[in-house]
Amino acid sequence: MILVLGGTGEARSLAEALVRSDIRVVSSLAGRVARPRLPVGEVRVGGFGGPEGLAAWLRENDVKAVVDATHPFAERIGANAAKAAAHTGTPLLRLARPGWEPGEDDIWHWADDLEDAAKMLPELGERVFLTSGRQGLPAFAHLDDLWFLIRCVDPPEPPLPRHHELILARGPYEVAAERELLDRVDVLVTKDSGGAQTSAKLTAARELRKPVLLVRRPPRPETETAGTVAEAVEWVLNR
């Protein structure tokens, strides 16, 4: 059995490719999204109980290899996977999409984390398009002088910025629609998630000459890494 720590488009594509190759795959989802897009094959939802619980699950289910294909900012499960794999001697691969790279006409600013982004925001604009995810919204809740257009997949819980408008939507997004939203704000705030599914907002910001405040990816444990699904499939087939 191959365990895919999923929740991303790459994870779903990997599970599909492995199932087509007659490999038993279990995709694990964190359960933080109300109606997740489910991959083919077996699916489990919920945490493992830390690295010890994951290590026990790997042993109990005779897992031959683990592919961590979680979101670039899902640092806790990444750390747990690295510890569990090392403890059990299970091969581990990190499937990580490349981060975004600025073009010549982009106006990008970089923040180390969400708290750093909140400190930088007042200097960049008073009206903000915030697409950094619902769990990070408390980092901006104290900015009472700013107005936020907040986009999330699921309804967020407080605390939220006092002045805001909420949009519930799931990508992929179109450049024209993103341009309409960015016309209403001064600056875009987002995480360096990478990939094409949510990159339309960056294209729209470039066309409108709007600044973008990007949050850098958190550090991940050093492990063997693949940048594409095809590379990950080949890695699994060679186990």
Q: Which CATH number characterizes residue 29's domain?
A: 3.40.50.720
Question: Does a structural domain hold residue 47?
Answer: yes
- Flag whether 146 is in a domain: yes
Tally of domains within the chain: 2
CATH of the domain at 148: 3.40.50.1220
37 confidence band (pLDDT: 50, 70, 90): confident
Same domain, 71 and 144: no
Co-location of 77 and 122 in the same domain: no
Same domain membership, residue 232 and residue 135:
no
pLDDT at 6: 96
36 pLDDT tier (thresholds 50, 70, 90): confident
Among 147, 172, 175, 181, residue whose Cα is nearest residue 161: 147
Burial (CB < 10 A; 0-12, 13-18, 19+), residue 69, is buried
pTM of the full predicted structure? 0.90
The reply to whether 102 falls in a domain is no
Q: Average pLDDT of 55-70?
A: 97
Three-point CA angle 227, 42, 172, nearest 5°: 50
Give the alpha-carbon dihedral of 35, 97, 110, 206, to 10 degrees. Answer: -80
What percentage of the chain has pLDDT greater than the value 90?
Answer: 92
Question: The domain containing residue 19 runs over which residues?
Answer: 2-97+219-237
